[in-house]
Amino acid sequence: MDQGLSYAFIPVTVDTMTEADVRAFQRAVAESDGPVLAHCKDGTHSLNLYLIGEALDGRMSDGEVAVFGRNRGFDTSSAVGWLKQQATHRPQVRGFFDKRTSSVQYVVTDPTTRKCAIIDPVLDFDEKSGSTATINADAILDYVRDNDLTVDWILDTHPHADHFSAAHYMRVKTGARTAIGECVVDVQKLWKVIYNWPELATDGSQWDRLFAHGDTFEIGSIEATVLFSPGHTLASVTYVIGDAAFVHDTVFMPDGGTARADFPGGNARALWKSIQDILALPDKTRIFTGHDYQPDGRTPRWESTIAQQKKTNRHLFGVSEDEFIELRTKRDKTLPMPKLILHALQVNIRGGQLPEPEANGKRYLKFPIDAFQGAVWE
C-alpha cells in the first residue's frame, strides 16, 4: 500500500565518507515534505552524516559533536576524526592584487603536500606602448619558489576582458597543466566571428583540460569541484577548493556588489542563478573574488564568506531576482567597455598565447572597427 512515503539510499561507510555524501544526506532531508527517519544498521552512519553536516555548516563545533553523541549513548569519535582530517584540507590562499586592472590572482596551496594551483594570473600589458611584461607573473613564481611549492594547476575562471592571461607563460615556466571551463569553446566561436579569424581553433585545445560542471580534481590532497557559473561570460566557472570558493566575476566584496553581465554572451538572469548556486554553499565557505575596485578608495580586499555575502552584499541582500536583473541591466548601460577588451580577448581565448610573430618577427593584435557601442566621447 502506498503510504505516501519516499526513500533515499545513500551508500556510505565511515572510512569512505566524503563531503559529497554529507551534502547528499542534507539534500534528502531538505527535500522531504514531512518528518524524516534516517536509519542504518546501528544508527552510527546516519548520525555521523547529520553531525558532520552540522559541523561543516558551523552549527556545531567538533567538541559539541562529541558531547552530542556521548549524551545519547553513541560513539561519534569517527565523525570527530573525519572533521579533524578535513581541517587539514583547508587550503592556504595567497592573493596578489594587480592595481592596474584591479584584478586578484591567487596561489592556492595544500599545506600538507606543498602542491598548489595558480588562479587567473595576469600578463602585464601597456596599451599605449603595446608592451608586455611579466611583473605580476614573476612575483607569483617568486612566491612559489620561496615557499618551496610545486604547481599542479594553472586555472582560468573565464576568458578575461580586462587583462591578458599569463596562463601560457606560467605553463612554460612550471610545466603545470592548464584548465578552464568547457564552454570556452562557445566564447571562442563567438569571438572568432567578431575578429573575423577563420584559422582560430574553437575546440579548447589551447588548454590541457576543459572542465564540465561537477568535475573534480585535486590540488595535492585537497579535492576541488567545478561549478558552471555563467552570466558574466558564457564560460565562467567557480572553483571550490576545500573550504574556499574562487568566484571570479560573479560577486565582488559585499560593498562592491556584483559583476556586469553585458559582455557578448553575458546574461543578467544567468548571473543571478550562478550567484544563487554559489550562495548555496555552506555559510562559512571562504569567498575569493576576481576583482576589487576599492569602493570609496578603501584598501584592496578580496576575501569574504558566504554568510557575509548573504547579509551585506549591496546588490543581493533583500533583492529579488527581478529586482536584481533590473538593477544589473540599468547599471551595465552606464558602464564603458573595458579598455582592454579588444586587446585581451584575442589572447585569452587562446589560453594566454600571444599572436604568432609575422615575417618581420613582430606580433600584432587585430581590432574590429565599430563592432561595439559604449564609446565615451566626452
DSSP states of 256-321:
G-B----STT--HHHHHHHHHHHHTS-TT-EEEESB---GGGPPP--EEEHHHHHHH-TTTTT--H
Domain count, the chain: 2
pLDDT of residue 42: 64
Query: Can you give the pTM of this predicted structure?
Result: 0.78
Residue 363 falls within a domain, yes or no? no
Residue 119 falls within a domain, yes or no? yes
**Whether residue 266 sits in one domain with residue 208:** yes
Query: pLDDT tens digits for 242-269?
Result: 999 999 999 999 999 999 999 889 999 9
Residue 6 falls within a domain, yes or no? no
**Whether residue 176 sits in one domain with residue 40:** no
Enclosing domain of residue 155:
92-332
Query: Considering only CA atoms, which of 313, 283, 280, 291 is closest in space to residue 232?
Result: 291
Residue 358 falls within a domain, yes or no? no
pLDDT of residue 87: 67
Per the DSSP assignment, residues forming a β-bridge with 178 are 154
Residue 56 falls within a domain, yes or no? yes
Q: How many residues does the chain have?
A: 378
**Whether residue 270 sits in one domain with residue 255:** yes
**Whether residue 56 sits in one domain with residue 125:** no
pLDDT of residue 1: 42
CA dist 140 and 134 (Å) reads 10
**Whether residue 303 sits in one domain with residue 211:** yes
**Whether residue 67 sits in one domain with residue 181:** no
pLDDT of residue 45: 78
**Whether residue 177 sits in one domain with residue 293:** yes
pLDDT of residue 43: 63
Q: Which helix (H) or strand (E) holds 271?
A: helix 268-279
CA dist 324 and 71 (Å) reads 47
Cα angle vertex 341, ends 338, 342, to 5°? Answer: 135
pLDDT of residue 174: 98
C-alpha cell recorded at residue 166: 599569463
Residue 253 falls within a domain, yes or no? yes
The neighbour count for residue 138, using CB atoms within 10 Å, is 14
Query: What is the domain-level CATH number for residue 157?
Result: 3.60.15.10
Residue 75 falls within a domain, yes or no? yes
pLDDT less than 70: residues of the chain: 1-5, 7, 13-15, 38, 40-43, 58, 87-88, 374
